[in-house]
Amino acid sequence: MGMKKMKNHVWFRTVGTLSLSVFFGMGIVGCGFTPPGGGEPEPQVEQPDDQDAPQDDPQDDPQDENQAPSADAGSNQAALGGDTVTLDGSGSSDPDGDALTFSWSQASGTPVALSDADTDSPSFTAPDSDEQMSFELTVEDEGGLTSTATVFVSVTAPSEPRLYIANLGGNVTSYADPSGVNGNIVPDTNLAGAQTQLAFPADIVVNADNQLLAANFATASVTTYDDADQTNGNLSPDGNVQGAATQLNPAGPTTLAINTGEDLLFVADIVTDDIKVFSDTSSSTFNGNTAPIRTIASVDINNPTGINFGADDDLYVANNGANNVVVFANASSLNGNVNATRIITSAAFTSVFDVYIDAADTMYVVDTAGFIFTFFDASSLNGVVQPDLTLTVPGAVALSAIAVDEAGTAYIVDNGANAVFSYDDIDLLNGVIAPDRTIQGANTQLAAPIRVFLVE
């Protein structure tokens, strides 16, 4: 340990005739002896050794010590089965500024393959199951010190695709994984019976809380059922919106559309040629004599038999009375008398009944005479247009509805033939083409099917 210097101080101590003096300020130790009788002694001077000289010890400086890094595995995440999940260790750091090496490992959950596990951002494909997974990140600095952190990923199994079919005969049926259903197949669910209060159900939708909503043409009501995929048998509704305040008319409610993000239900009424908008469909208050929050009225609505949403809150209305399709922009905020934003007509139309817009912005118009008209770039259509493709369904009696899944499989209802046809790659089909599959027969419980609704 080094000597601490004191500036300009001299310390003396005399014991008998021996005196010591230390000149701290000069870094010199002096020693003298006074013999009896006095007299000045010959000074004796000793220069300190190098070992006694003040010096710095590098091990005494904490800034020279290597400090451990800090691992940061990122925020906890949520994912759906099949999603690509990217972990994030970019928040890891080292107080000395050292470069870090990364090592990720899975601590729990269904084993998955981690790509780029030696980087700060590896990824994996989430398993198709409900579970919580955990992953550990270990970082190491240039001096070999390490730090570990953990992140959790909550995985939700993807919902099972399901096709719901509204039957004017008084029931609602459904099939899970409908793309493979073909023939005289018993449905997975069949909601039917007096307790259901279904009365000529003209259309159905499913909201964000997995509740089935049915528009009843005969009783001017909307009945609701919890756990849509479990609605089987003679079940009483969990809600029944009915009464004068609803402004729905007997033989009026024909078709529905749902804005799941804002929980808004749109009900088209052919008696008053308008569209009532109801809010909070997933709430227990959506029951009884409930008034709509808004009504969309327009001279451009004429016997609306099909409504569906496209991109950017555009509501498409199939007018059977005017044989056209009209579009209302920003439909979720409209109220009162308004004009359609766009009016789409075509010489090909003979008896328009339904309209559907898929995720690729392709519009499909159902013509009861047996045609499906396909229009690309639906959001740009206005005025007189010609279909890009025309599918003719051979032997069709009275087509009434269509829904298209993300893979391009279409489900087309033939009310007159008591059947649902399915076509793969509907956006490529032109001409007279037989369906790839047909749901038809006594076992299907189809009874004048009129609408379909697809949950993916």
Rounded to the nearest 10°, the torsion over CA 406, 408, 409, 411 is 80
- Percentage of the chain with pLDDT > 90? 84
Mean pLDDT of the chain: 91
Spacing of C-alpha 268 from chain mean position: 29
The H-or-E segment that residue 421 falls in is strand 419-423
Strands 352-357, 363-367: parallel, antiparallel or unpaired by DSSP? antiparallel
Question: What tens digit of pLDDT does each residue of 311-321 get?
Answer: 999 999 999 99
Over residues 156-165, mean pLDDT: 90
> By the 8 A CB rule, do 142 and 99 touch?
yes
* Measured CA distances, 101 to 86, 118, 173 (Å): 18, 7, 57
Give the pLDDT band (50/70/90) at residue 6.
Answer: very low
Note the pTM of the prediction, 2 decimals: 0.72
What is the phi/psi pair of residue 166, to 5°?
A: -90, 130
- Percentage of the chain with pLDDT > 70? 86
Looking at residue 435, what is its pLDDT? 99
Contacts of 185 (CB under 8 A, 6+ apart): 175, 439, 441, 443, 444
* Lowest mean per-residue pLDDT among 23-32, 85-94, 106-115, 295-304: 23-32
Measured between alpha carbons, how far is 251 from 220 in angstroms, rounded to an integer? 7
Question: What tens digit of pLDDT does each residue of 22-73 get?
Answer: 433 434 444 454 454 555 545 454 554 555 555 555 555 556 799 999 999 9
Over residues 369-388, mean pLDDT: 99
We find that the CATH architecture of domain 77-156 is Sandwich (2.60)
Is it the case that residue 339 has pLDDT exceeding 70? yes
Question: What tens digit of pLDDT does each residue of 172-187 get?
Answer: 999 999 999 999 999 9
Give the pLDDT band (50/70/90) at residue 15.
Answer: very low
Give the pLDDT band (50/70/90) at residue 158.
Answer: confident
Question: What tens digit of pLDDT does each residue of 129-146 get?
Answer: 999 999 999 999 999 999
Measured between alpha carbons, how far is 361 from 355 in angstroms, rounded to an integer? 12
The DSSP symbol for 447 reads S
Strands 410-414, 419-423: parallel, antiparallel or unpaired by DSSP? antiparallel
What is the phi/psi pair of residue 145, to 5°?
A: -80, 145
Measured between alpha carbons, how far is 289 from 295 in angstroms, rounded to an integer? 16
> By the 8 A CB rule, do 381 and 357 touch?
no
Question: What tens digit of pLDDT does each residue of 207-224 get?
Answer: 999 999 999 999 999 999
Domain spanning 162-455: which superfamily? TolB, C-terminal domain (2.120.10.30)
